[in-house]
Structure 1
Amino acid sequence: MLAFTLGLVAVVGLEHLFIMCLEMFWSTGRIAQQTFGSDSSFLEQPQVKAIFKNMGIYNGFVGVGILWSLFALPTMEMRAVLILFTGFVVVAAIVGAVTVSRRIFVVQGLPALFAVLCVLLFL
Structure 2
Amino acid sequence: MNILIVIFSLLVALEFFYIMFLETFATLSNATSQVFNMSEADLNNKNVQLLFKNQGIYNGLIGLIILYANLYASNPKELLSIIMIYIILVGVYGSYSSGNKLIVIKQSGLAIITLFLIVFFR
Instruction: Output the TM-score relative to the length of structure 2.
Output: 0.92
Percent sequence identity over aligned pairs: 25
**Number of equivalent positions:** 121
Cα shift at 1:60: 1.1
* Map of 1:110 onto structure 2: 109
Unaligned runs of at least 5 residues, structure 1:
none
Q: Is the CA contact 1:66–1:86 (under 8 Å) kept in the aligned structure 2?
A: no
Considering only aligned residues, what root-mean-square deviation do their CA atoms show, in Å? 1.4
The residue identity in structure 2 corresponding to 1:111 is L
Q: Deviations over 1:15-62 (max 9, x none)?
A: 011111111111110001111111212101110001111211111111
Cα shift at 1:110: 1.9
Tell me, what secondary structure is at the counterpart of 2:87? helix
Higher helix share: 1
Output the CA distance in 2 between the equivalents of 1:112 and 1:48. 27
Tell me, what secondary structure is at the counterpart of 1:102? coil
Instruction: Output the TM-score relative to the length of structure 1.
Output: 0.91
Output the CA distance in 2 between the equivalents of 1:82 and 1:34. 29
Output the CA distance in 2 between the equivalents of 1:19 and 1:37. 14
Cα shift at 1:103: 2.6
* Map of 2:56 onto structure 1: 56
Unaligned runs of at least 5 residues, structure 2:
none
Q: Is the CA contact 1:86–1:112 (under 8 Å) kept in the aligned structure 2?
A: yes
Output the CA distance in 2 between the equivalents of 1:119 and 1:87. 11
